[in-house]
Amino acid sequence: MTEPAEFLWPARVYYEDTDAAGVVYHANYLNFMERARTEWLRALGFEQDRLRREEQCLFVVRSVLVRFLSPARFNDALLITARVVRLGGASIDFLQEVRRDGETLCSAEIKLALLDADSLRPKPIPRPLKALIGAQLS
């Protein structure tokens, strides 16, 4: 079996991303990862606002396990990765990394749930999206 496809999204560290020590504030790594997942979904042809409007579904973060390995600093060019490692009926698990020049600065295991936009109860992933994600896993 081949390794699941890894989505890559470039980002730049802006001054607003840093703390008083001039390094990326810890919570901003999660912002970078969220943006990468949004761009991954967009690359598959799905927009989150359209999924909410047309399918009445929302992706929400269920759990996060983050490992901070080395700091990113102002003006660093980063590469944010997103790789699906498990696809459930109403959930998607990702492994994500923030890299600089090939070095992993931060890694995370992120579990998402798909919820009905009105009831906020779990809802199956729409079939067209699930088929595309499943194809990345095989």
Catalytic site positions: 19
Give which of 67, 133, 131 is closest to 105, Cα–Cα.
Answer: 67
> What is the token pair recorded at 26?
């810890």
Residue 85's identity, in one-letter code, is V
Who's near 7: CB < 8 A, 6+ residues apart?
Answer: 36, 39, 40, 43, 81, 82, 83
Q: Which residues of 122-131 are buried (b: 16+ CB within 10 A; e: fewer)?
A: bbebeeebbe
Alpha-carbon distance of 67 to 83, in angstroms, equals 16
